A and B are shown apart, each in its own frame.
Chain A
Amino acid sequence: MAARALALLVLIGTLLAGGPEASAQLERRPLRIYAITFRGMTDVERGFQDYFAARRIPVQITWRDLNRDASRMPGFLEEIRRTRPDLVYTWGTSVTLGVVGTYDGFDPKTQITDIPVVFTLVAAPVLAKIVPDLKSSRRNVTGVYHVAPTEAQIRAMASYRPFKRIGILYTPTEQNSVVVVKEVKEVARRLGFSVLDMPFRLNAAGQVTADGAPEMIHEMKERKVDWLYLPPDSFLGTQAEKIIIPAALAEGLPTFASTEQLMEAGALTGLISHYYAIGQFTAYKAEQILVNKVPPARIPIETLTRFTLQVRMDMAERLRMPPPLPMFNYAELIMPKQGVASAQ
């Protein structure tokens, strides 16, 4: 392990302040990080750990998994208070809200206010009220979100195949999706295309259902929609692989994914961020706090500047829509049987 750490000593050179300090501040005592994940270890954690190893910053990470069980949270909070780590790492919206609460409604008695918290993989930190805006949390919190800006996604879609109209299927009860639909419409007004948005139906119990989704997709095709955009929508995520994407494929409608999960469900292409890179970026934020001593409130909440464009080559072939030639230079081309092929 030590050898590996040594081999990684030279990972990331930085133009930003902190490059020289990082090695200068090799403290005797490793920095203690308390990390809570939502559903076990992912690539985010791997990227997070690798970053510190590469920067030769000694850290001691205590891993705790919520395992989708909110009842474990009080125990973790109690442990944090007791062990007083240097930093708390939270994975996803649920965990983050559990640890720090909303900016206008947290409970200082149970939740963490005096230890810096870095969250990761929160799709919409402002919407979730974790932070009032992306410039600053105005408290002891900062973090990383992972969804590419809507306009970047729209442009990526257009560079694959130009379009005049896109369709969106979304869950009307998910605030997050409603906001994304609104954003897409704004971009549409600016770039000059139209949007056909259709909410999933609700059943008698007021629960969202995928019934009638294939018909809606058929209607979209009829109404000259060129792409089906798949927003970062939880319900859609559960239905994409079995119902939505096959239906679109049947209609010959290409699908564009906004998350890696939707990509895995079989979308043709998508602009996504790799969990590994998100993890590294989260570690970079943690470094700012721990090594460079920047107060979390002064570190903006950001996402990656460069996202990964993935293309499912099997889908491209079935839709008879090969990616444009320049994309072979930068896209990640996926062949499901052979796994992932990089753009080499």
Chain B
Amino acid sequence: MGTIRVRFITVALVVSFFAVGMAAFLNYFKYKSTIGGIVKSRVLVVGRGIENSVQASLALGMQFTELSALPSQMEREAASDPLIQGIDVFDSTGQIIYSTDAASVGRSVDRAWTDAAAASKSTEWTGEAPGEYVAGISLKNNFDLTVGYLALRYSRDYVDRAAQAAARQIVIAALGAFVGIALVAPLALIVVIRRFERDLQVLETAASHLEDRGQPVPLPGSAFDPIIDHLRASLRDANSALDDLRAKLDRAG
């Protein structure tokens, strides 16, 4: 097998690996973001309910820190979906004011949460906690001042497990496709490569017979015919000139 053949096939394999790899990558991330989005929007449905009642209470002049009905509502909502692991409401300093986890009231949330909430252009934001994803809503008062934040913590494991299962299947499909291509591509390429190799072969054969005297070997027809003709013509020219010299020398004795 010629070195050129090996090189061309290597190119095919590298490119296929890239393309299949990228496609698998894209499909996986699309899957991950879609399922993440579905799960998050499910959690946010619950959040919107809480947001509505907080806003209604604020509009009635109740203090953000005195929403006595809120903890029980949060408990109820958190219990309604096993995916939700906890709900916190915290202020702009990050201090938790209400939580389904009574022990964490008064503690501070991860600074990244308040930063993410502050940086978000809409009222929604996202964050992370150990083992948990966080879907957040900024709670705003009547003149658009953010009074606090609602954080719904849900199971990271749930999302990750789903993503991993999909990843495994996509990787298997991609590997299969790649193996398939690795088998098919060389065969398909050989058709093109063989024509190319034959052309080179013809050229080489022709070159190896360049110095043959007499009738030139008939050409089998290749892309290089004109070039070979040129080659032969030039060599013939030179040789005949030298022949002429030889003859003249001989004639001179």
Is A281 a contact of B143 with CB atoms below 8 Å? yes
A329 CB–B CB distance under 8 Å: yes
Closest to A276 in B: B61
- How many residues of chain B have a CB within 8 Å of chain A? 30
- Answer whether A273 and B52 are a contact pair too, CB < 8 Å, given A7-B65, A344-B69: no
Bound: A280/B55 CA distance, A: 15
- How many residues of chain A have a CB within 8 Å of chain B? 35
Q: Of the candidates A11, A305, A332, which one forms a contact with B59 in the assembled complex, judged by CB atoms under 8 Å apart?
A: A332
Which residues of chain B come closer than 8 Å to A273, judged between CB atoms? 142
Is A340 a contact of B64 with CB atoms below 8 Å? no
Shortest CB-to-CB span from B178 to chain A, Å, is 50
Shortest CB-to-CB span from B74 to chain A, Å, is 13
Max chain A C-beta neighbours (<10 A), residue from B58, B59, B144: B59
B24 CB–A CB distance under 8 Å: no
Q: Of the candidates B53, B59, B145, which one forms a contact with A16 in the assembled complex, judged by CB atoms under 8 Å apart?
A: B145
Which residues of chain A come closer than 8 Å to B148, judged between CB atoms? 13
Shortest CB-to-CB span from A159 to chain B, Å, is 16
B95 CB–A CB distance under 8 Å: yes
Within 8 A of A (CB), among B189-231: none
Is B52 a contact of A11 with CB atoms below 8 Å? no
Is B92 a contact of A14 with CB atoms below 8 Å? yes
Closest to A307 in B: B142
Closest to B59 in A: A308
Shortest CB-to-CB span from A195 to chain B, Å, is 29
B146 CB–A CB distance under 8 Å: yes
Within 8 A of A (CB), among B83-103: 91-93, 95, 97
B57 CB–A CB distance under 8 Å: yes
- Answer whether A342 and B60 are a contact pair too, CB < 8 Å, given A10-B93, A10-B95: yes
Q: Of the candidates B56, B140, B143, which one forms a contact with A342 in the assembled complex, judged by CB atoms under 8 Å apart?
A: B56
Binary CB contact string for chain B from 54 to 78 against chain A (1 if under 8 A, 0 otherwise): 0111111101111001000100000
Is A342 a contact of B57 with CB atoms below 8 Å? yes
Which residues of chain A come closer than 8 Å to B60, judged between CB atoms? 274, 276, 332, 340, 342
Shortest CB-to-CB span from B51 to chain A, Å, is 10
B182 CB–A CB distance under 8 Å: no
Bound: A43/B61 CA distance, A: 8
Which residues of chain B come closer than 8 Å to A13, judged between CB atoms? 91-93, 145-148
B166 CB–A CB distance under 8 Å: no
Is A10 a contact of B65 with CB atoms below 8 Å? yes
Which residues of chain A come closer than 8 Å to B57, judged between CB atoms? 342, 344
Bound: A125/B120 CA distance, A: 34
Which residues of chain B come closer than 8 Å to A330, judged between CB atoms? 52, 55-56
Bound: A10/B6 CA distance, A: 71
B118 CB–A CB distance under 8 Å: yes
Bound: A332/B145 CA distance, A: 20
Bound: A7/B65 CA distance, A: 7
Is A342 a contact of B145 with CB atoms below 8 Å? no
Closest 4 interchain pairs by CB? A13-B92, A276-B61, A343-B56, A277-B142
Given A10-B65, A308-B59, A343-B56, 13 more contacts at CB 8 Å? A8-B63, A12-B92, A12-B145, A15-B146, A46-B61, A54-B63, A273-B142, A274-B142, A280-B141, A305-B142, A305-B143, A306-B55, A330-B55
Report B's interface with A, CB cutoff 8 A.
52-53, 55-61, 63-66, 69, 73, 91-93, 95, 97, 118, 140-148
**Interchain residue pairs with CB less than 8 A apart (26):** A7-B65, A10-B64, A10-B65, A10-B92, A12-B145, A13-B92, A13-B146, A14-B92, A14-B145, A15-B118, A15-B145, A15-B146, A16-B145, A43-B61, A274-B142, A276-B60, A284-B143, A284-B145, A304-B142, A305-B142, A306-B59, A306-B143, A329-B52, A330-B55, A342-B59, A344-B52
